[in-house]
Amino acid sequence: MSLEICGPSPQVLQNDAELSPRPFQTFEAQGALKTGLDVAKLLLESVKNGDLGSKVRQDIWLRDLESFQNQTLPSIIIAVCGATGAGKSSLLNAILDDNIVPTSGMKACTSVVVEISYNQEPTIDADISFLTRQEWESELTDLLKEIRAVDGVNDGDEGEGDEEEAAAAFQKIRDVYPSLKRNQLAKMTPAEILNNHPDITSRLGTIDRISEPNSASFSVIKIKKYIENSLDGVVSKAKTRRQREAYLCPLIRLVQIRCHAAPLATGAVLVDLPGVADTNLGRVEVANRYLQKCDFLWIVAPITRAVNDKTAFGGYSRKGLRESVENGLVVKLFFVSIILIRLLLPGGLDGNYSDSAITFIATKTEDIGVTEIIRELELDEKAEFQNILTCLEQLSNNKMALSFDQNNEERALERTKERIRDVKDSLKNLKKSLKAQKEEKRQAKKRKRRSRASQDASAKRCRSTSLRPLGHSTDTVPETSDSSDLTELSSEDEDSLGSADQTKPEQAGGTGSTHSPRARNFPRDQIRKWTKDLQSLRMEEESGAQRLKLAQDDIKQLEREILEKEREKTAYCSLQRSDSSAAQLKALFRKKLRDMDENKAIKENPDTFDHTISIRGMS
Ligand SMILES: Nc1nc2c(ncn2[C@@H]2O[C@H](COP(=O)(O)OP(=O)(O)OP(=O)(O)O)[C@@H](O)[C@H]2O)c(=O)[nH]1
Ligand SMILES: [Mg+2]
C-alpha cells in the first residue's frame, strides 16, 4: 500500500498499476494545504497503529506529524508603494479583476494601509482596526498644535505656523468631528474632544467587520469612508456639518480585506500603502512594518515621470525600505500596461542577493505624446520605425486615391439621380396634361350632346308651331377638338418632342393643337421612351450606388488598417519609452545600490575600503 498526493484528497492506492506517477493537480495554495493536512492525518493514524521498528522513531514521527497539523497557509506579502495618484489601487483592482479598493482621479485617495488576502468564501470581508485611544489622542495633540501655531490660543495671539498645514490638520479633525468649528479648537484639549464625542471615542481600539456579497456594495458604500479622506468642499456642500456622517479614515490603523480573487489563492497578500506621508505615527508604524516584512516590494510610478520619480529612488526611503535594500535585493523592473516587459539587471547578481525583490511598475503607459517621444528618442532614425511610417504613408495615399474615386462616384450618382428626377417630373407633367386634355374632350362631348338636344327640341317646337321644315342640318354644330383622342400638340411642340432624345424631358410634354397621326401618337411614344429612359437610369443609379458602396467599404477597411498602424506606431513609441526608462532606471538603481553599499562599507571599514572594487560585482 502506498499513498499518492493527487488532487485535493489523498487516495490509497491498491496495486502497482495505480502507482504510476500522476501530476499534482491542484495549484491553489489552500487546496494544496488541505491535501497535505489530509495526508498527514492519514499518516498519523498509520504511525499510531503501525510498527515502525523502534519506539523513538515512532515518537519522532508522531511529533512531526502532530506539529504539521498546525500548518497554516503560507503567505507572500507584496507591498505596493508609490506617490499618490500613481495608480497603486488601480493596479491592485486590475490584478484582482474587480473594484475592491477605491481609486480617485481627483485627490489623494488611499489614506490607510490596506491589506488584501484570499477569502475562500465568495463574499468580500474586511476587518477595520481603529487606532487606540492613546494613538488618536497623541495625533490630536499634534493636529491641534498645527492649528494653534496659526490661529493662536487667545484672540490676537496668532502664531507663525503654516496655514496650509493648519488647514489640513483642521480638515482631518473635522472629518471625524463634523460639528466642530475651527475657532472652538483653540481652547479644547484632546481629552475634551474625546470626552465630548463618546460615540467616536468608543470605537477607538476596536475592530469593525464588514461582509458584502459583491464589490459594488463593498467598495462604494462600505469601505470608502474607512479608506478615503473627505474631499474638502465637495462633501461640505453636499450636507451641512451637523448632518454629515463622520469620515472615519483618520481613526483607522489598518484595513484587512479578504476577497475571492484567484490571484490571491496562491497565498499572495497585497498591501496597498498610502501614497501620502502620514502624520499618524501608528499608521506610519504599520506601513513600516509591512515594508520591513514584505517578501516583494512593488514601486509604482507613472511612466511619464518614472525616471524622475523620487519614490523610486529613495524618496520613499523609510527605515523599512532602506533596511530591505541594504540587506541586498534582486532588483527587478516590471513595466505593465497593455504589454508587460520584465527586465532583470544583467550579470553578476546571482547568489549575491537575498530572494527578496523590488519590482518597479510603470503605469499609464498608454498616456503618450507620440511626437514628443519620437523627438526625444530620435525614433525616426530607426529602420523599424521608418517601416511603420512608410506603411502609414502608403495607406494614407491609398486612402486619398480612394477618396478621390469616391467623390467621383458620388458626383456621378448625384447626376444620375437628378436625371431620374427630371424624367419623372416630365412624365408626371405629360400624364397630367393628357388627363387634362381627356377631361377637356369629355366636357366638349358633353357640350355637344347638350347643344344637339337643345337643337332637336327647338326643331320639334318649330315643327309643331309652323310645320315648316328646317333648312339647317345638325352638321352645323361648332367643330370641337374631338378629332384627337389624346391631346392637341402644336407643330412646335411636336417638333420639339419628336426630337426628345436631345431635348430635356421637362421641355417637352406641353399641349399642342396638331391633329396629325404622328402628333396623336407622340405622347404615348414619349411616355414609353421616358419610361425606358427611367429604367436604364435606375439601373445606372443602382450600379453607381454599388460602386460607391464598394469605394466606401474600401475606405473603411483602409481606415481600420490606418488605425491599426497608428496603434502600432503608438505601441512602438510606448515600448521604446519603456525600454529607455527601464535602462535609465536600471542605471539609477544600480548607482543607488552602489552608493549604499559603499557608504555602509566606509562606515564599517573606513581604512580598508577600496572604491575600485564593486561590492556586488556590478560594473
Ligand atoms: N490613463 C491611466 N490612468 C490610470 C492608470 N492607472 C491609474 N489611473 C488613474 O489614475 C488616478 C489615480 O489612481 P489611483 O489608483 O487612485 O492612485 P493611487 O496610487 O492609489 O493613489 P493614492 O491612493 O492617493 O495613493 C485614477 O483616476 C486612475 O483611474 C493607467 O494605467 N492609465
Ligand atoms: Mg490608492
Condensed to tens digits (0 to 9), the pLDDT of residues 166-176 reads: 888 888 898 88
Determine which residue's CA is closest to atom 12 belonging to ligand 1.
85
C-alpha 501 to ligand 1 mean position (Å): 73
Q: With H, G, I as helix, E, B as strand and everything else as coil, classify residue 537.
A: helix
Average pLDDT, the chain: 76
CA dihedral 436, 441, 445, 451 (to 10 degrees): 80
Closest atom of ligand 1 to 276 CA is: 25
Closest atom of ligand 1 to 300 CA is: 19
Residue 465 confidence (pLDDT): 58
Going from the C-alpha of 437 to that of each of 96, 430, 493, 525, the distances in angstroms are 84, 10, 15, 17
Which among 103, 278, 335, 578 is the best mutation to test ligand 1's pocket, defined by most ligand atoms within 8 Å of the CB?
103
Band of residue 114 on the pLDDT scale cut at 50, 70, 90: very high
Q: Looking at domain 76-131+205-367, does it have CATH number 1.10.10?
A: no
Q: Is 458 exposed, middle or buried (0-12, 13-18, 19+ CB in 10 A)?
A: exposed
C-alpha 102 to ligand 1 mean position (Å): 10
Cβ contact 135:278 at 8 Å: no
Domain definitions of the chain by residue range: 2-68, 76-131+205-367
β-sheet bridge partners, residue 359: 298, 332
Determine the Cα–Cα distance for residues 270 and 117; give it in Å rounded to an integer: 7
Q: Which residues line ligand 1 (CB under 6 A)?
A: 82, 84-90, 103-105, 108-110, 274-275, 337, 363-364, 366-367
In eight-state DSSP terms, residue 503 is: S
Band of residue 244 on the pLDDT scale cut at 50, 70, 90: low
What the block records as the C-alpha cell of 489 is: 400638340
Determine which residue's CA is closest to atom 1 belonging to ligand 1.
364
Angle of helix 163-176 relative to helix 133-151, nearest 10 degrees, comes to 140
Counting ligands in written order, the one closest to the CA of 84 is: 1
Closest atom of ligand 1 to 93 CA is: 15
C-alpha 230 to ligand 2 mean position (Å): 14
Band of residue 279 on the pLDDT scale cut at 50, 70, 90: low
Q: What is the pLDDT of residues 306-337, one digit of tens each?
A: 666 554 443 333 344 444 433 333 333 333 32
Closest atom of ligand 1 to 110 CA is: 23
β-sheet bridge partners, residue 252: 130
Mean pLDDT: which of 112-126, 208-222, 314-328, 591-605 is highest? 112-126
Determine the Cα–Cα distance for residues 77 and 270; give it in Å rounded to an integer: 6
Mean pLDDT: which of 38-52, 60-74, 436-450 is highest? 436-450
C-alpha 102 to ligand 2 mean position (Å): 7
Residue 342 confidence (pLDDT): 26
Closest atom of ligand 1 to 103 CA is: 16
